[in-house]
Structure 1
Amino acid sequence: MTTGTEQDFGGFVRRARARDTIVVQPRMGFSDPALMRSGLAAVAALPVATAGTITVDSYTRLGDYAALRAALAAGENLNGYPLVTAGDRATRKVTQGLAHDNFQIQVRHGCPAPLDIVQAMTDAGLFATEGGPLSYCLPYSRLPVAESVENWRRTCDLLATLHGPDTVPHLETFGGCLMGQLCPPELLIAVSILEGLFFRQHGLRSVSLSYTQQTNHAQDREALTALRTLAGEYLTDIDWHIVLYTYMGVFPSTAGGARRLRRQAARLAVEGQADRLIVKTGAEAHRIPTVPENTTALLDAAGDLTAAAVLPVPGTDDCAATVLHDARNLIEATLELSPDVGAALTGALRRGYLDVPFCLHPDNTGRAASCIDQTGRLTWLSVGSMPLRPGPGAQPLTSGELLADLAFVANHFDGLEPRSGLRRRPLLDTEGIR
């Protein structure tokens, strides 16, 4: 049992899993401190193991504090909590007394230069956050990756100095969510592991490795198995856990479609042995969800996890070994470039050993391309210089084909033909597109 003052996010998740419980967590952030506290309090009060989220606003992510203060002075509602300008006293009032055995808080932001955010967070007594030198740079900014690596080195160094008897700083890599969609799993797995190694090299002893639900249930299950296997090989001397994100791309627009997708995410979490599940709501396709919508979705997810736990888990096939093999190739090719993981990451991008499809960042070579094949699996059209088997050499996607792939999951769960938009009977299978 904890005292409520212990700050050990990884230990909190580990204790939940010892009870065969997967922690559920919303994405939540409000600019008004009272509303932010009420949202966290509502999540903390649920009768299930939950992590609360303080999502930082976009002005703070960009470091544009002048624009932030102007927006607040004008009475604008922001898309998150202004952690840096709020000050530690105000933030402590937001979080005071909420942590308990079934609840801890994580700060989420999306910033390639996070030192201000992490300093403000830790000053306010919060020690769990997320990000990474690639995963919070390539999709979100045009900052040179070398600068992002240095920013994250300094951030990790700060967090590492705060380790103490009742404080274990925790950092989650966002590597398994690169671009949110249409990124084949071996690349997501590799970046998750590599960022985890970067965190460890710079003193972190508690990390989590992310993966986002994609287009095919069986492929996602194989990916989670591969991620867990590789974490067991590369991160043997620190505490780690796996966090699964409900689909990050275009969300179903119907209530039924959203519910089916969230239910499948819960089953994936169970079958893939995830330790934490990031839950989305039925409002995701239309607007920022309310606190009641978030708490309802969390309770639904907890129920779905319980229901999925009694279902048989399908066996693995040859594709699982392929995902594991390809992810390991990407990791090893990167690590061979330098004993310094940060230098290895920048070198791997420069050589194209890591190449994120559809990513327009200047440091990404952009020679790799992916698509959804006829079975609903994500596959490579071309691999560029990555140490993977060459793609089939097909023509690049047309704009129409790319838009169809982006809407593939939403159409499927809304009961539309995934690529034509024609109405058909909703698909309820749990093995992805057949």
Structure 2
Amino acid sequence: MTQTHAFFHDFVKARARQGQLVVQPRMGFSDAAAMRRGLEAVAAARVPAIGTITLDSFTRTGDFASARRAVQEGKALNGYPIVTYSDAQNRQLLAGLRGPDFPVQVRHGSSLPEEIFRAIVRAGLDATEGGPISYCLPYGRVPLAHSIEAWRRCTQLFAAASPSHHIESFGGCMMGQLCPPSMLIAITLIEALFFQENGLRSLSVSLAQGTNARQDVAALRALRQLGEEYLGPAEHWHIVFYTFMGKFPQTYPGARALMEESARIARAGGAERLIVKTVKEAHQIPQIQDNLDALCWSYQAACEPAALPLDEAEVQAATEVIVAEARCLLHTLLNLGSNIGRGIELAFARGYWDVPFCLHPDNRRRSFACIDERGYTGWAATGRIPFPRQLVAAGRQRPLTSGALFDMLSYNQLRYDAVPALAG
């Protein structure tokens, strides 16, 4: 097995101590030479950046034969097929490039990722992401129990490879949008606890940009508070924030404004790493230069002094609500089953955890979310989630029409596309 040197988490924490927000693209190319050029470009960017190898959809779903055939025929895929390429080719991709000043993370989206994890370890890489919930429920019909068992084996494999191998929970990004932040926080923290239970020491927890900057800052602060409560001191974990993952603005100024606001939110909320989007998200797969522009703009926006004016009283009030809801969800699950994996199964089977608008057969589909008059994302209906009565206002239990759902899906696109065109 290849000797792996672990750089990922140490790089992020060192930059955080210097007051820097680490920025990272979501970039993947099926051609190894193009993937190398993309990594080289990110490594040369004059911002604290991490490289990304995003895998293709065939590899994500375990269809390695189709990935291999595409590579042999020279057909472009929507990411890098790490299992198809040989270990020598994967190591050559990174040779002389990955190191203490330029870590690289593999991003994939697989609910059954064992072959991917093995290829990552053999390639000498130390970081990936996902989780038994976040890479199962949104992406297909693989039974949740199967995903939990596969991720248990993968986590143990990673932990055995090195005490510094790192997994980022994708739980704070479930469905990309229209999920109350308390549920996102509960999912990312329970996945982190699952990783710890299976031997992993180095991890990160996540959250995606929502529909109100003040609520997003509150959610990041809630995640920090609960992370310290459940995961312990943040020596071995950090927070990553994602630029909005839903329906993206179609105009250049709107897309750029949304991207830059996500960076300001990340800084105000105390995140240490930001996964960026580009101005091309609504139109095409971004190219290398699109990603470089996004990295630079986002980092510059995060460096602006007092760039995100906040009503601290409002943010604190929102933080308290999010903490209370998320703590209730975590307490409920942790009191089920003999281990966290079994607790996850039972929580979803009984509807005690229920992700709005998620159609996976193991999700009960009795909860719904809404966007209120302030732009906050909250609960429209809570199904069988056992929130205390004082947490669930009667006004939240409101009917949801298809027209209202469409408006919510377009909420960020419409308000950011209304941003005036940039001068020049």
Same fold (TM over 0.5): yes
Distance 1:346 1:393 in 2: 27
In structure 2, relative to structure 1, the CA distance for the partners of 1:278 and 1:11 (3 Å cut) is same
Deviations 1:337-365 (A, max 9, x none): 13411111111101111100111100000
The equivalent of 1:277 in structure 2 is: 274
- Any idea what the Cα deviations from partners look like across 1:31-63, whole Å, max 9, x if unmatched? 000000000010001122111100010000111
Cα offset, 1:394, TM superposition = 4.8
2:337, 2:134 → 1: CA distance? 20
Deviation, 1:317, is 3.2
1:303 match: secondary structure: helix
Query: CA, structure 1 residues 369+427, in 2 after alignment: closer, same or farther (shift >3 Å)?
Result: farther
TM-score normalised according to structure 1 size: 0.92
Cα offset for 1:11? 1.1
Residue range with higher mean Cα deviation, 37-46 or 232-241:
232-241
Alignment of 1:30-49 (within 5 A): 30-49=29-48
Instruction: Report what 1:259 is aligned to.
Output: 256
Structure 2 residue identity aligned to 1:244:
F
Secondary structure of 1:122's aligned partner: helix
CA–CA distance in 2 between the matches of 1:324 and 1:147?
30
Partner Cα separation in structure 2 for residue 16 and residue 99 of structure 1: 17
Q: Which moved more, 1:6-15 or 1:219-228?
A: 6-15
Give the corresponding residue for 2:162. 163
Q: Supply the distance in 2 between the matched residues of 1:29 and 1:255 (Cα, whole angstroms).
A: 23
Q: Deviations over 1:238-288 (max 9, x none)?
A: 600000000000010000001110111011011100000001100011111
CA distance in 2, matches of 1:62, 1:162: 24
Shift of 1:73: 3.2
Tell me whether 21-30 or 44-53 shows the greater mean CA deviation.
44-53
Q: What residue in structure 1 maps to residue 379 of structure 2?
A: 380
Deviation at 1:93, TM superposition (A): 1.0
SS of corresponding position for 1:357: coil
Indicate if the aligned counterparts of 2:253 and 2:421 stay in contact, CA closer than 8 A: no
Match of 1:398 among 380, 401, 410: 401
Aligned to 1:117: 116
- Rounded to whole Å, the distance in 2 between the matches of 1:143 and 1:311 is 41
Q: Distance in 1 between matches of 2:305 and 2:247?
A: 25
Distance 1:32 1:40 in 2: 12
Whole-angstrom distance in 2 between the partners of 1:151 and 1:140 = 15
What is the CA–CA distance in structure 1 between the aligned matches of 2:72 and 2:40, rounded to whole Å?
Answer: 27
Question: Are residues 1:220 and 2:223 paired?
Answer: no
Asked whether 1:210 is paired with 2:206, we answer yes
Q: Give the partner amino acid of 1:400.
A: G
Q: Tell me the distance in 2 between the aligned counterparts of 1:6 and 1:116.
A: 20
300-309 or 36-45, which deviates more: 300-309
Q: Where do 5+ consecutive residues of structure 2 fail to align?
A: none
Whether the aligned pair in 1 keeps the contact of 2:55 and 2:82 (CA below 8 Å) is yes
| Alpha-carbon distance, 1:8 to partner | 2.8
| 8 Å Cα contact 1:48-1:102 kept in structure 2 | no
Q: Distance in 2 between matches of 1:224 and 1:33?
A: 36
SS in 2 for 1:208: strand
Separation in structure 1 between the aligned mates of residue 305 and residue 108 of structure 2, nearest angstrom: 31
Q: In structure 1, what residue type is equivalent to 2:222?
A: A
Please show how residues 168-187 of structure 1 align to structure 2 within 5 Å: 168-187=164-183
- SS of 1:320's equivalent in the other structure is helix
Cα displacement string for residues 1-32 of structure 1 (whole angstroms, at most 9, x for unaligned residues): xxxx8413111111111111110000000000
1:295 to 292, 297, 307: 292
| Structure 2 length-normalised TM | 0.94
- Residue aligning to 1:20: 19
Deviations along 1:66-108, whole A, 9 cap, x unmatched?
Answer: 2222323333210000000112111111111112443210000
Shift of 1:387: 2.2
Aligned pair in 2 of structure 1 residues 319, 7: CA closer, same or farther (>3 Å)?
same
Who is 2:362 aligned against? 363
SS in 1 for 2:128: strand
- Aligned-residue offset at 1:319: 2.1
Q: Which residue of 1 aligns with 2:84?
A: 85
2:379–2:396 Cα contact (<8 Å) kept: no
- Paired with 2:180 and 2:72, the residues of 1 have a C-alpha distance of 44
Residues in 2 aligned to 1:240 and 1:194: alpha-carbon distance in whole angstroms:
14
**Aligned partner letter, 2:132:** P
Q: 1:308 to 1:91 in 2, by over 3 A?
A: farther
Quote how far apart the aligned CAs of 1:174 are: 0.4
Match of 1:234 in 2: 230
2:336 is the counterpart of 1:337: yes
- Residue 337 of structure 1 aligns to a residue whose secondary structure is coil
Q: What count of residue pairs does the alignment treat as equivalent?
A: 412
The residue identity in structure 1 corresponding to 2:292 is T
Q: Deviations over 1:115-141 (max 9, x none)?
A: 100100110001100000000000012
Which amino acid in structure 1 is aligned with residue 324 of structure 2? H
Q: 1:369 to 1:139 in 2, by over 3 A?
A: same
Q: Deviations over 1:163-203 (max 9, x none)?
A: 15xxx100000000000000000000000110000000001
Corresponding position of 1:307: 304
AA of the residue aligned to 2:118: Q
Whether 1:154 aligns to 2:147 is no
Question: Match of 1:421?
Answer: none
Give % identity.
Answer: 48
Q: Residue 170 of structure 2 contacts residue 206 of structure 2 at CA under 8 Å; is this kept in 1?
A: yes
Tell me which residue corresponds to 1:9. Answer: 8
Deviation digits for residues 409-430 of structure 1, max 9, x if unmatched?
A: 0100001xxxxxxxxx6599xx
**Alignment counterpart, residue 417 of structure 2, candidates 414, 417, 427:** 414
